[in-house]
Chains A and B, each alone.
Chain A
Amino acid sequence: MKKILITEDSPTMRSLLASTIGSVDGYEIVEASSGFEALRLLPREKVDLIITDINMPDINGLELISYVRNNPNYQHIPLFIVSTESSEKDLEKGLALGANEYLVKPFDPTRLLELVGKYLG
């Protein structure tokens, strides 16, 4: 079972992401409704993949990516950004910080599953 952490402040978007990925065998979803919650979940759950939004209250997605990539415990974990295309500069920054992939909302479920499969095999 591979564990995927979804960090997204919109409950509807979060459950859409969760049900898309959860519809496939072998993935277990852990949901965080804010960057803080993600910070708290990371040491508790052995996460295999992180999916994060950028625009969130408390800490934003870029700050979360920076945290993950600078922390020896998590820096190997593949990380996707799922955000809207409005913040192009932010997306670029996210990739520069070490995000592996990004998807633009409204995201394409098939593409999302492809990418998840690519990284989790």
Chain B
Amino acid sequence: MSGNNDNLGKAVKDFLAEAEEIIDQLSLDLVGLSDCADTGDCNPDLVNSIFRGAHSLKGLAGMFGFTDIADLAHNLENLLDSLRLGKAVLNQTTVSVLFDSMELLGTMVRGAGTGVSDTQGIERAVSRINSCLSPPPSTETVSPLAGLGISEKILGALTEYEEHRLLENVKKGRGVYSIHASFSLMTFDQDLGELTDTLKQGGEVISTLPSAGGGLDAGIDFEILFGSELDTAAVTALVDKDNVIITRLGGGGRGAAETATSSTVADGEDVTAATGGEAAAAADTAVTAKSFSRTVRVDIGKLDELMNIVGELVLSHSSISQFVANLRRDGHPALASELGKSAKVLERKLTELQKGVMEIRMIPVGQLFEKMSRIVRKVSREQGKKVELKTFGADTELDKLIVEDISDPMMHIIRNAIDHGIELPEERRTLGKDAKGIIRLSSFQKGNHVVIEVEDDGRGIDVERVKKKAREKGLIGPADALTDREAIDLIFLPGFSTSDTVSEISGRGVGMDVVKNNIAAVSGMVDVESTLGEGSRMTITLPITLAIIKALIIASAGRTYAIPITSVLETIMVENRDILTVEKKEVIHLREVTLPLLRLDRFFETTGMSDLLESFYVVVVGVAEKRLGIVVDDLLGQQDIVIKSMGETFKGFKGISGAADLGDQRTILVLDVGGIINEAMRGSA
């Protein structure tokens, strides 16, 4: 493949890592196979999954030109294909040949690229593999499937393997059932997973054919072929679901199958005696237990689960601490101090555990940058523009889920930068700029946040044009005087687009407001700075993780809220007389800077707080460059909280990012500081 060497190098690395994962999994599966080979009663899924592994390995090795590996994998795949289709016999000899070949494959993968090849070893392995391929047993000419009344549609989509499994079930005298189930598109994988798991307890799931749902709008139907010794009533009882229709297609009364299974035919042969010793000797020199890549792939859902458990442990710990305090208060100082000590140890270990789980979730933003470089290449070519992408700080780490969630908004920002920012080469030359535009993508950690900047040296944002457009669209009044900064922020309003012609790239109805909302959804903020003629800079500020955070617990109008500590700059006590009113907004002067105030009770339109207090607390919060003082009734202390989403119902609810449990069974709301600041700056609060 053409393209640069770095990408290719990385692709080869990915291949080797995946190859090794496959081989590790296959080796495990082979242990399972060896356990059941004697009885001949192996789970067909197991054999099929080993086949699929060898199959993938062959395809991949071929793509990267590792012909040795591809060849050996091909021979293995052949044998496994015959095994799963019942064309070869599974016994301990076969298993040991599979084991040895797999080990050799592992050695080859680990040594890939060194140019050293054990040609003799490979030849030996291939000839042993082929010796396991016994000629296919005589097959019946009349397919017993004909009488089953399985629809053409299902038969047409059966793979050779599935067809074989169906035949095997018929031969074994099992009943064949068609099981029809309808699910919603949202949850079908889980629902179907549950159904097949249940079915597998009573037989074999042979195939699963999806079709467009009949009734439900967003539904999907599945037609499952199921082989089982159970009768219809028992299958119905096993499934026990309303939305599932079970039809018995046929298959046998027990013992009806006349053809004997072929599993005993070649059992006597033993190939191991001839070649086994040699192979073992060869293997001894080559085997190494060391793994090539020391990584594991983990489903992020599992990490979330772990994180939830850590969160619950943190809660239990705070109730223990509370208990310690109670003991001390009630006159049990000795007991309190002892339990207090244990609680401290628990706390330390919990912190380490929490940190550990958090680190696992982190991935370098470089992965995101790589995607963006693809976008830059593509979009610049489409636009006939010359663009060079420079990246900095690719090793900055960020929560995997955040990276996923900002990848779409980032893509849009980049597209915008090329589409609206960078000029055409001729235009740039006339302007005295280099014909090639530059987009700088940089990332760095700043306290508890990660900042990602997208900077271009294009034409910048024309503030006057933005204002004009905003007036035309009625987003601002004709008399509204705006600073340049405020004017630039107009681009984030829904329905704003300065582009005269809607381009195919950026103008597909996704505005900067969507970009901003997507970033806000992960508690992030986006800021723009721009100089006309020189370029623009988008600054995205993101929390490092969303999973578990330290929060300041506050009270306002009799309600309790949590403010993520990462957004809290300080808390101050303010006298009522220090409050000034500027343009109908309350502000205070804090170290020569005017700080706008926001009263939480008014923001949420709750009642109960008294305006008559002489002095009160102000929590100074900030995200990116913006600052706001939130007026609260009381500060209740700091606590670790796990933010839980409140679901779709509260999605549009401004100023709230989720809910959290406190140790005492209370659930409180978590403030979305970025959202509140934006609302306040817009003047709607």
Contacts and interface: CB of A to CB of B under 8 A. Distances in A.
Interface of A: 1, 9-13, 15-16, 19-20, 22-23, 25-26, 35-36, 39-40, 43, 54-60, 62-67, 70-73, 84, 86-87, 89-90, 93, 96-97, 105-107, 109
Contact of B63 (A16, A60, A62, A97): A16
A98 B343 CA distance: 66
A12 B159 contact: no
Contact of A39 (B2, B188, B207, B374): B188
A67 B211 contact: yes
A20 B2 CA distance: 9
Given A63-B208, A105-B59, A105-B63, 4 more contacts: A22-B374, A66-B157, A67-B210, A105-B62
B59 A10 contact: yes
A72 B211 CA distance: 11
Contacts of B267: none
Closest 9 CB pairs of A and B: A106-B62, A105-B59, A66-B157, A106-B63, A71-B212, A67-B210, A62-B157, A89-B160, A36-B189
B374 A60 contact: no
B218 interface: yes
Main SS of the interface on chain B? helix
B58 A22 contact: no
Nearest to B13: A12
Contacts of B81: 86-87
A86 B77 contact: yes
B473 interface: no
- Tell me which of B49, B59, B159, B378 has the highest count of chain A C-beta atoms within 10 A of its own C-beta: B59
Nearest to B504: A1
B382 A26 contact: yes
Contacts of A86: 55, 58, 74, 77-78, 81
Contact of B159 (A35, A54, A71, A105): A54
13 contacts: A10-B60, A12-B14, A13-B63, A39-B185, A40-B188, A40-B189, A56-B52, A58-B189, A67-B211, A70-B211, A86-B74, A97-B156, A106-B70
A59 B222 CA distance: 10
B331 interface: no
Contact of B58 (A15, A26, A84): A84
B647 interface: no
A55 B52 contact: yes
Given A22-B378, A107-B63, A62 B159 contact: yes
Interface string B366-377: 000000001001
B212 A93 contact: no
Nearest to B186: A40
A70 B212 contact: yes
B220 interface: yes
A96 B130 CA distance: 32
Contacts of B60: 10, 12-13
A97 B157 contact: yes
A8 to B, nearest CB: 9
A42 B74 CA distance: 33
Nearest to A29: B374
Interface residues of B, number: 48
A1 to B, nearest CB: 7
Interface in B470-521: 504-505
Contacts of B52: 55-57
Contacts of B58: 84, 86, 105
A109 to B, nearest CB: 6
A66 B209 contact: yes
B186 to A, nearest CB: 9
B159 A93 contact: yes
Nearest to A23: B3
- Tell me which of B70, B81, B158 has the highest count of chain A C-beta atoms within 10 A of its own C-beta: B158
B11 interface: yes
B282 to A, nearest CB: 27
A106 B14 CA distance: 16
B3 to A, nearest CB: 7
A9 B7 CA distance: 21
A1 B156 CA distance: 34
A63 B207 contact: yes
A59 to B, nearest CB: 5
Interface in B74-110: 74, 77-78, 81
B56 interface: yes
Contacts of B189: 36, 40, 58
- Tell me which of B15, B55, B157 has the highest count of chain A C-beta atoms within 10 A of its own C-beta: B157
Given A19-B7, A67-B210, A86-B78, A43 B62 contact: no
Contacts of A59: 208-210
Nearest to A40: B185
B355 interface: no
B56 A10 contact: yes
A62 to B, nearest CB: 5
B1 interface: yes
Given A63-B207, A67-B209, A16 B11 contact: yes
Nearest to A75: B212
Nearest to B212: A71
A39 B157 contact: no
B341 interface: no
B153 interface: yes
Interface string B170-206: 0000000000000001001100000000000000000
Contact of B188 (A11, A16, A36, A63): A36
Contacts of A71: 211-212
- Tell me which of B153, B159, B211, B218 has the highest count of chain A C-beta atoms within 10 A of its own C-beta: B159
Nearest to B19: A12
A15 B11 CA distance: 8
